[in-house]
Amino acid sequence: MFAQAIADFQANPWLYISIPFISGIIGYVTKVVAIQMMFAPMDFWGFKIFGIPIGWQGIVPRKAEKMATISVELMTTKLIRAEEIFARLDPQRIAKEIEIPMLAAAEDITRAVAQQYQPGLWEGMPEFARQKIIRKVQLESPAVVETIMSEVLKDVNKYFDIKHMVISNLLKDKRMLNDIFQKVGRQEFKFFSNAGFWFGLGIGVIQMVCWLLFKQAWMLPAFGGFVGFFSDWAALQMMFRPLTPKTIMGITFQGLFLKRQNEVASDYAALISKQLLTTSNMMEELFRGALSDRIMDLVNRHVKQMIDEQAGVVRPLVVYSVGSQKYIEMKNQVAARILACLPETMKHAESYADDAMDIRNTLVGRMQQLTAEEFEGMLRPAFKEDEWSLIAVGAALGFIVGEMQIHFML
C-alpha cells in the first residue's frame, strides 16, 4: 500500500501537493465569507416563498437594536456617565460662548413677535425706543440660557437620556454600528482569515496522506467540511480564549483580542468620541430627544419669567394694550422661538464643550481598566450572535469545494 502510494505521489506530485493548498484556501475563503456575513448586506437580500424569507442580511445590521443595546449597556455602566461629563461644563462659559449668536437671535425674535402682536405700535415707535427694548431682551437672554443650563446640570438624567441617544443614532445609521465592530476588531478579523488558511493547510496535509492511502470519494468533501467547521471554531477560540494570560511550559497564552486591550481602547475612544458621543448629538438629544418636553417646560418657565420681569411696572399697560390672551400667546411664542434656535445657537459652544467633557480620554482610561470579561463583551457579541450559522456556512462551503475536488482527483 505504501509503495503504491509513493509511486502514485511521484507520478502526480503537483496534484497531491495541491490538496493542502486547496484546503488552506477553503479555510481562508470560509473565514472571509463568515466576516462578510456578519456585516453585509446592510438590508435583507433574498426573496420570500409562502411568506418565508429566503436570503440573508448581515448579522450586525439585522440585529442592530440588540447589538446597539449591548454596546450602550457597556458604555453607560462601565465607561461613561452623563452626569459626570456634563458636570465638567460651566454654565457661565456656555453662555459666554453663545453670547453673539444669542444676541442676534434675541433681536430677531423680539422684532418678529412684536410685529406679529402689535404691528402698528411697534412700527410707530422711534428706532431708539425699539432698540432699547431689544437691548433689554438681549441683556437677559444669555443669563436665561445660563440659568437653564445650571438647572439641567443639577439633574442631568432628568433632561438627558444617553441610552436613547446612543441607540437611536446607531439604529439611524447602521453603518456606524458596523464601523464600531469592524474597527475595534480589525486585527482580529485579519487574524481570523489568515488562521483559516494555516489551519486548512495543516489539515490538508493529513487529507493528502489519507487520500494517497485510501482514495475514498467521501474523504475530500468530509475533510473540506471539517476544515470549514474546525478552522472557524479554533480561530474564535484563539481570539477570545484564554481570557487572562496562562503560562504553559514557559509560553504565555491569551486571547488575541484581550492582549490588545490598550490599543483597542484608543481606537474605540477615537471612533466613539468623533461619531457618536459628540457635543452635537448630545445637544440634539437634549433639545429634541426623548426627554425634550422637560427642556421645553424649563425654557418656557424661564423665558416667560424673563418677559414678565422685563415688562416690570408697565406690565398692566402691556396686557391692556394687547389683551391678556395675546400677552400669554406672545410669551409662548417667544419661548418657542428661543427653544427652536437653541440647538443651532449651542453649536457655537461645541468646541468648548468637547474640550471640557474630554470624552475621548475618559473612554481610553476606563476601557483600559475593564476586566477581561467586560472587555471581551465589546467584540464578542458580533461573533456570538448566530455563531452557529457562520460555522455551518463555513462547513457547507468546505464540503462543496471538497466535492468539487473529487472531479480533479479521480
pLDDT digit string, tens, across residues 319-336: 444 445 565 666 666 667
Is residue 157 within 8 Å of 83, Cβ to Cβ?
yes
In the three-class reduction of DSSP (H, G, I as helix; E, B as strand; rest coil), residue 246 is classed as strand
Could you tell me if residue 384 is inside a domain? no
Q: Are residues 190 and 140 in the same domain?
A: no
Distance CA(111)–CA(103), nearest Å, equals 12
Q: Are residues 151 and 40 in the same domain?
A: no
Predicted TM-score of the model (pTM)? 0.73
Inform me whether the pLDDT recorded for 143 exceeds 50: yes
Could you tell me if residue 290 is inside a domain? yes
- Give 99's contacts (C-beta < 8 A, 6+ positions apart): 142
Q: Are residues 221 and 350 in the same domain?
A: no
Q: Are residues 299 and 170 in the same domain?
A: yes
Write the CA distances from 69 to 165, 169, 181, 360, 405, integer angstroms. Answer: 11, 12, 14, 21, 44
The half-sphere exposure of 231 on its side-chain side, counting CA atoms within 13 A, is 38
Could you tell me if residue 375 is inside a domain? no
Q: Are residues 284 and 348 in the same domain?
A: yes
Of residues 329 and 172, more confidently modeled: 172
Average pLDDT of the segment spanning 121-135? 61
Distance CA(28)–CA(22), nearest Å, equals 10
Closest CA to 151 of 301, 298, 339, 308: 298
Could you tell me if residue 270 is inside a domain? no
Give the cell for residue 309: 420681569
Distance CA(83)–CA(96), nearest Å, equals 22
For the chain, the domain total comes to: 2
Could you tell me if residue 302 is inside a domain? yes
Report the helix count and the strand count for the chain, using DSSP H and E: 25, 4
Q: Are residues 79 and 172 in the same domain?
A: yes
In the three-class reduction of DSSP (H, G, I as helix; E, B as strand; rest coil), residue 49 is classed as strand
Q: What is the pLDDT of residue 60?
A: 83
Inform me whether the pLDDT recorded for 114 exceeds 80: no
Task: List residues bridging with 251 in a β-sheet.
Answer: 248
Could you tell me if residue 274 is inside a domain? no
Q: Select, from the ranges 84-93, 226-235, 301-310, the one with the highest average predicted confidence (pLDDT).
A: 84-93
Residue position matching grid coordinates 445657537: 345
Q: What is the pLDDT of residue 264?
A: 85
Tell me the per-residue pLDDT of 349-358, one tens digit each, with 9 for 90 and over.
Answer: 888 999 999 9
Residue type, 349: A
Q: Are residues 53 and 83 in the same domain?
A: no
Q: Are residues 243 and 104 in the same domain?
A: no
Q: Are residues 114 and 47 in the same domain?
A: no
Q: What is the pLDDT of residue 355?
A: 92
How many other CB atoms sit within 10 Å of the CB of residue 197? Answer: 20
Q: What is the pLDDT of residue 268?
A: 85
The half-sphere exposure of 237 on its side-chain side, counting CA atoms within 13 A, is 8
Could you tell me if residue 153 is inside a domain? yes
Average pLDDT, the chain: 78
Q: Are residues 196 and 235 in the same domain?
A: yes
Give the cell for residue 82: 452623563
* Parent domain of 216: 2-63+186-265+389-409
Distance CA(157)–CA(154), nearest Å, equals 9
Q: What is the pLDDT of residue 177?
A: 84
Q: Are residues 106 and 160 in the same domain?
A: yes
The verdict on whether omega for the bond into residue 381 sits within 30 degrees of 0, i.e. cis, is: no
- pLDDT tier, 361 (very low <50, low <70, confident <90, very high otherwise): very high
Q: Are residues 152 and 194 in the same domain?
A: no
Strand (E) or helix (H) holding 332: helix 324-346
Give the cell for residue 115: 410685529
Give the cell for residue 52: 418565508
Could you tell me if residue 147 is inside a domain? yes
Distance CA(105)–CA(82), nearest Å, equals 29
